[in-house]
Amino acid sequence: MTTPPRRLTPGDRRRQILDTARKLLDVKNLVEITVDEAARLAGVSPGLVFHYFGSQLGFRSALAEEAAAELLSQMEPDPACSHAEQLRRALDRLIVYAEQHPRLYVAVTSDANTDAREAHQGIVEVASGWVLAALRDVGVPETPALAAAVFGWLAFTEKVVQGWLAEPRRMTRDEIADLCEKTCYHVLQVIVADPGEWLRVEQALSARPDVPGQALTG
């Protein structure tokens, strides 16, 4: 006797729709992906997609959240590494991922994309939280100026990578990572201000944790 296929729960069905639509981001811009197309690929009715996501904007926003989570997973700190190593590895992985998925990257990092505004804000909050936590860990006081500087550096990095994706032959991946990495340290040096204190901070950022897994990374 053949066992009938398991009926998907609402959560599973919603996940299926998003997983199917996510694949479209490798060939289409977010604003070009419609509910009708996502429904057809998922084998459901457009009405069911609207049932789960409310509107086309709600659907695209949910898809952007999925893409944002995927992008953040590339940058998640490794607590076994020094904070300096974490930064460089995050930049290297981010740039490779952006090159492999340029439409996804632009979709969730462009300020002009209203469908992904909340997703973009989430990326900024999480990534800036990682950087600020690393700086707290080495004794840098968290001030409004420091938070603004980190936010500004993240915006700079986003725009640099976006520009590179438009003209990738002008610089290599390593050159882009070097630029973003050096800019981060220059910005932080301005905030710390005191040369002696900055030398201490640099050394602390480069030190590996004494016990793997115990570094404060957010």
- Pair (200, 93) in one structural domain: yes
- Pair (161, 85) in one structural domain: yes
pLDDT of residue 4: 43
What is the mean predicted confidence (pLDDT) over 19-25? 91
- Pair (40, 89) in one structural domain: no
- Confidence band for 173, pLDDT divided at 50, 70 and 90: very high
Domain boundary among 64, 83, 109: 64
Q: Measuring CA to CA, how many Å separate 156 from each of 151, 159, 190? A: 9, 5, 16
pLDDT of residue 1: 44
Q: Is 215 within a domain?
A: no
Summarised one tens digit per residue, pLDDT across range 117-140 is: 889 999 999 999 999 999 999 999
- Pair (169, 183) in one structural domain: yes
Q: Is 218 within a domain?
A: no
Residue-number span of the structural domain to which 198 is assigned = 67-206
- Pair (121, 57) in one structural domain: no
Lowest mean pLDDT among 6-10, 144-148, 149-153: 6-10
Is it the case that residue 169 has pLDDT exceeding 60?
yes
For residue 200, the one-letter residue type is: R
Q: Model pTM?
A: 0.85
pLDDT of residue 213: 40
What is the mean predicted confidence (pLDDT) over 187-204? 96
Domain of 53, CATH number, reads: 1.10.10
Number of domains composing the chain: 2
Domain of 195, CATH number, reads: 1.10.357.10
- Pair (32, 107) in one structural domain: no
User: What does the DSSP 8-state code read for residue 218?
Assistant: -
For residue 212, give the 3-state DSSP assignment. coil
Mean predicted lDDT score pLDDT of the chain: 89
What is the mean predicted confidence (pLDDT) over 69-83? 93
For residue 88, the one-letter residue type is: R
